[in-house]
Structure 1
Amino acid sequence: MINRSEVKIEETWDLTHLFQSDEAFEKALEEAKADTTKLVETFKGKISNVDSVVSVINDYQELYKKMIPIGTFANLALSVDQTNDAAQLRAAKVGQIMASISAETSFVTSELLELDEALLEEASKKAPEFSVMIQELIRKKPYQLHPEVEKALAAFGTTFDGPYELYNTTKLVDMKFDDFEVNGEKFPLSYNLFEGDWELEHDTEKRRAAFNAFSNKLKDYQHTTAKTYDMHLQTEKTNSDLRGYDSIFDSLLFNQQVDRSLYNRQIDIIMKELAPHMRRYAKLVQKVHGLDKMTFADLKIPLDPSYEPTISVEESRQYMKDGLSIMGEDYVNMLDRSFDERWIDFAQNKGKSTGAFCSSPYGHHPYILISWTSRMNEVFVLAHELGHAGHFYLAHQNQNIFNSRPSLYFIEAPSTMNEMLMANHLLKSSTDARFKRWVISTIIARTYYHNFVTHLLEAAYQRKVYEIIDQGGNVNASILNKLKKDVLEEFWGGEVEINDGAELTWMRQPHYYMGLYPYTYSAGLTIATQVYQRIQTEGSNAVEDWLKVLKAGGTKDPVELAKMAGVDITTEQPLKDTITFIGSLIDQLEELTAEIEN
């Protein structure tokens, strides 16, 4: 892996769109601190009537707008190179200042919630642009603590973020992988190389050797990583107890605007009803590859690796435009801008965050991180992240900063929708059986496996962890390993051997530091699958409804947003229909494989 300094500039994102220089960044930081002081002097202890309520929310909104690019710049600069000392120190400095600003401005929420609810309702009517924010405040009222406690908790913001930072430092800075050896030949290994290449390697001996080497290195850090995670869990438990939630689940689901029934349903039904379909898929992969047995280390390999084409970054642009053109001219223009203006960081380098993500700072264009491997399946990864980008590109244009971000429950629907649209485009582009099999197998292995299996199994494991924490317990590496292995064995049954090292999969995901996030992937994809099928039958009308949903941002809860798109998630039917759809895709794979073999 090369150093960040050796990466071609055209493969990197352009953070100067946030700040032209370090001087501009420092100036913005000083302005934010000065605006904080002014906000405190103007409003603290003086919020007493409708006019002052509207004024303080407006001024706080302006401060919030200034803080967003500051935090984004510091975090993005660090995400592409965790080994960069300057980026580390800048991110730490910004974290401390943000925590201080959060503490100083915590009076805004506290004083607003001390007011009579009727007065808040009146302010909501006078300034309807703030009504969503005010209604959300009222909803939080039962769980609000004394103003001085809220201020103290806000001041500890960076401390509470410490476990996540420690996790990333352990994973991306301290953890060094040695080369692994197969038949006397050595091969390089890193987090990004394993997850981007070796996990998909069609040579079974190399793939399994890479898995063993990768797992052995994870094992060296399992106790530190488990202790780090437990610190995070105990912080969440303490916060839940202090605020008076009935359980840690209720605390973590509160901001998602859904109850435990939707959360549990997603996990329970998929564990029971999707598992038979995925076991069938695993056996098909084993048969096609002629494997002696199907192990956990073999689950990510493509059905037909010799067929998968390579693709350049520039070629991916046309795929994005062709595959997502149904979304309209404005959306396609955004896709062009993302390439022309360098919104995307494609590079592979030491210290770069693993996986892919999209950051969408309000008032600025989105940024996408991806480590480009030139594999064709990266088209789906990029389409996914551009789905997030397109969502917030539209939401930010149509909503204020308080209204633009929807519930986490809904957040993965626009991204996975793009994967479905891309798959549909590819399927229509060829009648060749082998190509169709590649596309459908990629939908299964990338879109559904990743979101309905990988992340759902994280969610099932995570639920077991939180059940322990909710009862006042703690976790360590032995407990986490057992919980993870139990979930994997339950889902895969006897069809897949859960080999040594699979139990350490809990160490690989940062999602566990983001609350009840993993299950939302399957929730989002359930909505996306149903809307995608509606687009196939209704065309432009369904697309227009979907665009309205994206523009609505966070002005409605997940149930209402899904309803706008024609999906009723208050029932289990959309989820069951989606699982049936996945089963039909696997039917097609079996039929196409038989056709190809004959």
Structure 2
Amino acid sequence: MPKAMQTRNEVDVNLTWDLTGIFKTEKDYELAVEKSQKLTDEIESEFKGKLNSAANINRCLDKLREFYQLATLTGTYAHLAVAVDQTNSENISRQSKLTNISSILDSRLSFVDSEIIQADEEVIQEAINSSKENKGYLEDLLRIKKYALHPEVERALSALAPVLDSPEEIYSMAKLADMDFGTFTAEGKEYPLSFVLFEGEWEYEKDTKLRRAAFEAFSKKLREYQYTFASTYKTQVQKEKTLATLRGFDSVIDSLLLPQKVERELYDRQIDLTMENLAPHMRKFAKLLKKIHGLDEMTFADLKLDVDPDFEPKISVEESKEYIKGALGVLGEDYLEAVDRAYDERWIDFVQNKGKSTGAFCSSPYGAHPYILISWTERMREVFVLAHELGHAGHFYLAHQNQNIFDSRPSLYFIESPSTMNEMLMANYLMKNTNEKRMKRWVLSSLISRTYYHNFVTHLLEAHYQREVYKIIDAGGSIYAEKLNELKRATLEKFWGDTVKINEGAELTWMRQSHYYNGLYSYTYSAGLTIATEVSKRILTEGQVALDDWKNVLKAGGTKTPVELAKMAGVDITTDKPLLDTIDHIGNIIDEIIQLTDEIEKE
């Protein structure tokens, strides 16, 4: 049974991350903040009103790169301290103070982009031709040139950044600090409940009465906050629509796709083809779960069940290293060096504690090593999650070694490809190293119920729902709690049909995801996994050649568009084929799981 959450000061420090990898002492952090302020003074005094020549533009951007690196380090340091304990007032105060300082500095430096954008294109092109380091940054400015507002407006927007970004902060504080789920009762026994416990434990509980009781209690608490969360989300989307309109976009969707460097066609195709073609395969998988677990009916609260819940191996943090290195070793010694360092130098925060962010993420500040947040449950499935986050870490570890800060980060569309690729490599490794049918079935079902369900179902359905919200906003409409519940329920019912009962509370799952506060993020998970699936299949057939191509993609960082990066890896995402092939691949895995289940039952 899950235990009640420990506080941060009660956990084993060896299983927490070590932020001295960014700043050795608090004084070093404060000096970095001071240095960023000094750099802002220098850039402003030397270049404001003078960015009308290629030489000045490049000299200014050379200094701006240094500022960005400092800002990334200080911002990450403050954020990560809060991410593991949102009840720590000292860390929250530090982050709040930095946010205010950063908004002032960003506002003062907004003239850089504004002046460059207003310069003659010939001057900008000359600057591009004169500096390899600044080329990508300047090309991006040319892309957004026609959407830029008056410099003073841009300056005001930069100054207002903390206010404009507040919806996500309000959402996070309500979710992780204010909401107290207390306990719930099932068959006369009392059990602890929290966001982390529900999403990490209770959703997977094989005892049907216990699992459904947890879902009901969890949903009841969410419902108490639905109007606050809806108001917060409404503020977010109205802000995005207002900014899109001010910049001359007809649709908020188009404005959010611009920085991703992909066309609307790729976005819509990812959602529409997946909704239409993946649903039959996942319904078949849901029916298998219903049969295996002898359920009276298949409900939304049952979809996270394991195919073989009694088989999943327990695994310690120390034991996970062998699997991680075995699976990711194909990526080479430089990649394994990063993996070793991640364990040995405490890049990873494994513990569960009160106030810690839910889920898992990787933060990779330029100029320091990556950091990974995960809540380790000692279940084998966490190895896939850790491999996923190490995919982000390894990606930026290599990109940062080969690109400057301007060019190191790829489009959001591509960002999930390296992470989901590592899940594919983990599955390949586990399948290759076992002949046992239950283990093979566990690996394949983990791919479906974790990797593909998470990226191709959970996040894809979020993306479909999110698009419906933006359609309303684009049409001049408004959203509110009941409407959001209605949209989410309609999306779930469309995908699952009459195979799964969308029980009371399922419509509230829009309240569980922070991705809605980060633009069009949700759909990129399935987009990234489409690329990863096709490349992993290529690795199995072509071996080292495909691996070498993939390593070059990782090193390229943000120097290419998503279409170009995929092409480097041997995948053409301008056509329907990769997505349809990936969906067929998912269907084939499900068929193999069903076949293995039949064979195991006959033995």
**TM tier, shorter chain?**
over 0.9
* 1:454 CA displacement: 0.3
Residues 291-306 of structure 1 mapped to structure 2, 5 A cutoff: 291-306=295-310
1:571 to 549, 559, 575: 575
Residue in structure 1 matched with residue 203 of structure 2 by the alignment: 199
Task: Indicate yes or no: 2:396 matched with 1:387.
Answer: no
Task: Indicate yes or no: 2:486 matched with 1:479.
Answer: no
| 1:245 partner letter | F
Structure 1 CA distance, aligned partners of 2:50 and 2:138?
18
Q: Secondary structure at the match of 1:311?
A: coil
Residue in structure 1 matched with residue 250 of structure 2 by the alignment: 246
Residues 188-587 of structure 1 mapped to structure 2, 5 A cutoff: 188-587=192-591
Structure 1 CA distance, aligned partners of 2:66 and 2:15?
33
8 Å contact kept, 2:331–2:547: yes
1:229-271, Cα deviation, whole Å (9 max, x unpaired): 0001111011101111121011000000011110000000010
* 1:405 CA displacement: 0.4
Structure 2 CA distance, aligned partners of 1:306 and 1:380?
18
Any gaps of 5 or more consecutive residues in structure 2?
Answer: none
1:510-563, Cα deviation, whole Å (9 max, x unpaired): 000000000000000000000000000000000000000000000000000000
* 1:428 CA displacement: 1.0
Q: Secondary structure at the match of 2:465?
A: helix
Any gaps of 5 or more consecutive residues in structure 1?
Answer: none
Residue in structure 1 matched with residue 51 of structure 2 by the alignment: 47
* 1:34 CA displacement: 1.4
Structure 2 CA distance, aligned partners of 1:389 and 1:34?
31
* 1:48 CA displacement: 2.1
* 1:19 CA displacement: 1.1
* 1:7 CA displacement: 1.0
1:481-501, Cα deviation, whole Å (9 max, x unpaired): 000000000000000000000
1:370-411, Cα deviation, whole Å (9 max, x unpaired): 011111100000000000000000001000000000000000
Q: Secondary structure at the match of 2:278?
A: helix
Structure 2 CA distance, aligned partners of 1:227 and 1:55?
45
1:337-365, Cα deviation, whole Å (9 max, x unpaired): 00000000001000000000000000110
Structure 1 CA distance, aligned partners of 2:209 and 2:380?
23
Structure 2 CA distance, aligned partners of 1:18 and 1:168?
24
Structure 2 CA distance, aligned partners of 1:127 and 1:31?
25
Structure 2 CA distance, aligned partners of 1:432 and 1:113?
61
Structure 2 CA distance, aligned partners of 1:368 and 1:500?
34
Residue in structure 1 matched with residue 101 of structure 2 by the alignment: 97
8 Å contact kept, 2:320–2:383: yes
Task: Indicate yes or no: 2:125 matched with 1:125.
Answer: no
TM normalised by structure 2 equals 0.99
| 1:520 partner letter | T
8 Å contact kept, 2:86–2:176: yes
Q: Secondary structure at the match of 1:187?
A: strand
Residue in structure 2 matched with residue 38 of structure 1 by the alignment: 42
Task: Indicate yes or no: 2:150 matched with 1:146.
Answer: yes
* 1:65 CA displacement: 1.1
Q: Secondary structure at the match of 1:556?
A: coil
Q: Secondary structure at the match of 2:362?
A: strand
Q: Secondary structure at the match of 2:190?
A: strand
Structure 1 CA distance, aligned partners of 2:129 and 2:264?
32
8 Å contact kept, 2:388–2:420: yes
1:385-443, Cα deviation, whole Å (9 max, x unpaired): 00000000000100000000000000000000000000010111111111111110000
Structure 2 CA distance, aligned partners of 1:402 and 1:100?
21
TM normalised by structure 1 equals 0.99
* 1:164 CA displacement: 0.3
Structure 1 CA distance, aligned partners of 2:87 and 2:282?
39
Structure 2 CA distance, aligned partners of 1:454 and 1:50?
47
1:106-160, Cα deviation, whole Å (9 max, x unpaired): 0000111111111111111111221111111111100001010000000001001
Structure 2 CA distance, aligned partners of 1:371 and 1:160?
30
Q: Secondary structure at the match of 1:528?
A: helix
1:448-490, Cα deviation, whole Å (9 max, x unpaired): 0000000000000000000011112221110000000000000
Q: Secondary structure at the match of 1:368?
A: strand
1:46-74, Cα deviation, whole Å (9 max, x unpaired): 12212111100101111111111100001
1:80 to 67, 79, 84: 84
8 Å contact kept, 2:408–2:557: yes
Structure 1 CA distance, aligned partners of 2:258 and 2:453?
28
Aligned residues: 598
2:597 to 577, 587, 593: 593
Q: Secondary structure at the match of 1:255?
A: helix
Structure 2 CA distance, aligned partners of 1:516 and 1:522?
12
| 1:278 partner letter | M
8 Å contact kept, 2:52–2:123: no
1:5 to 6, 9, 14: 9
| 2:490 partner letter | D
Answer with 113-122 or 454-463: which moved more.
113-122
Q: Secondary structure at the match of 1:549?
A: helix
Q: Secondary structure at the match of 1:324?
A: helix
| 1:11 partner letter | L
Residue in structure 2 matched with residue 156 of structure 1 by the alignment: 160
Q: Secondary structure at the match of 2:596?
A: helix
Q: Secondary structure at the match of 1:358?
A: strand
2:174 to 152, 170, 186: 170
Structure 2 CA distance, aligned partners of 1:545 and 1:388?
17
Structure 2 CA distance, aligned partners of 1:405 and 1:178?
41
Structure 1 CA distance, aligned partners of 2:122 and 2:48?
21
| 1:178 partner letter | G
Task: Indicate yes or no: 2:8 matched with 1:22.
Answer: no
Structure 2 CA distance, aligned partners of 1:290 and 1:338?
42
Residue identity (%): 59
Q: Cα RMSD between the aligned structures? A: 0.6
